[in-house]
Amino acid sequence: MPLAKYFTCILAAIVASVAGMVTGITQDLPRFSSLAAGMFSIALIATAVEMNAAFWRTGGHARYEVAAVEAAIRNARLLALGYLWGALALFMVYRLTPLRWQHGLQYGAGMALIAWFIQFYVHFLAQPDSRLRTPSALTTAMWLSVLHGAAALGGLAFLLLSGKMNSIKDDWAANLVFLIGGLTIVALSLVSAYTHLRLSNEPAAARSSVAEVGND
């Protein structure tokens, strides 16, 4: 299922989630902010599962490279949207609410930059003659995604074990973004890696030329 069919809904979910977080903070309803953040994460992960399920169900795919590149492009775009949500959440929370944290805008800018780099990668991956489309390059990207997810998991462990999630300072909202964002990254990394491994295990005889690859 092409990501374009979900794009408008995902953007609407980002706006609704950020608005919900800001409303929860201004109305002194932290649980509402947590719910707004969590619902976006669930929506993005559910979208990833639904889109990737089409690749999981296709046994003996006739065009291995076509499917592998399409999956990589879609999953990278979803990851970029996850970082975009985190950036907007930090920007809006520390601009439109009474909360103040000196690093809020810095981390927000960092997340926006990561989202841009991911989209930059997608731009080159979508080029028909790109070296990023080769099986070895896609496998390398898959392992980098796994390492990315592992790093996010380490960050989650730090957040939970350090007690930062119990903070009563103004950085509690940022910690919420880091928690939900980290969980989302881990889930998206696992989904992406599983899809790549499923496709790479298809019979070699079924694989066609990477030059045939199209993108949505």
Give the model confidence (pLDDT) of 65-99 as tens digits.
788 899 999 999 999 999 999 999 999 999 999 99
pTM of the complete model: 0.87
CA torsion sign for 71, 179, 112, 85 is positive
Higher pLDDT, 205 or 26: 26
Give the confidence band of 37 by pLDDT, cuts at 50, 70, 90.
very high
Q: Residue 146 in contact with residue 193, Cβ under 8 Å?
A: yes
Query: Based on the structure, what is the number of domains in the chain?
Result: 1
pLDDT score for 164 = 79
pLDDT score for 171 = 84
Q: Does the structure show a pLDDT above 70 at 58?
A: no
Give the contacts of 8 (CB within 8 A, at least 6 positions apart): none
Q: Does the structure show a pLDDT above 80 at 145?
A: yes
Q: Does the structure show a pLDDT above 80 at 147?
A: yes
Q: Does the structure show a pLDDT above 60 at 213?
A: no
pLDDT tens digits for 163-191? 877 777 888 899 999 999 999 999 999 99
**pLDDT above 70 covers what percent of the chain?**
88
Give the contacts of 13 (CB within 8 A, at least 6 positions apart): 39, 40, 43, 44
Range(s) of the domain holding residue 132: 4-212
Q: Residue 10 in contact with residue 81, Cβ under 8 Å?
A: yes
Cα(163)–Cα(23) distance, rounded to whole angstroms? 25
Give the confidence band of 54 by pLDDT, cuts at 50, 70, 90.
confident
Q: Does the structure show a pLDDT above 50 at 206?
A: no
Give the confidence band of 3 by pLDDT, cuts at 50, 70, 90.
low
Give the confidence band of 2 by pLDDT, cuts at 50, 70, 90.
low
pLDDT score for 52 = 92
Give the confidence band of 102 by pLDDT, cuts at 50, 70, 90.
confident
Cα(72)–Cα(196) distance, rounded to whole angstroms? 8
Give the contacts of 30 (CB within 8 A, at least 6 positions apart): 24, 172
SS (H, E, C) the chain: CCCHHHHHHHHHHHHHHHHHHHHHHHCCCHHHHHHHHHHHHHHHHHHHHHHHHHHHHCCCCCCHHHHHHHHHHHHHHHHHHHHHHHHHHHHHHHHHCCCCCCCHHHHHHHHHHHHHHHHHHHHHHCCCCCHHHCHHHHHHHHHHHHHHHHHHHHHHHHHHHCCHHHCCCCCHHHHHHHHHHHHHHHHHHHHHHHHHHHHHCCCHHHCCCHHHCCCC
pLDDT score for 216 = 45
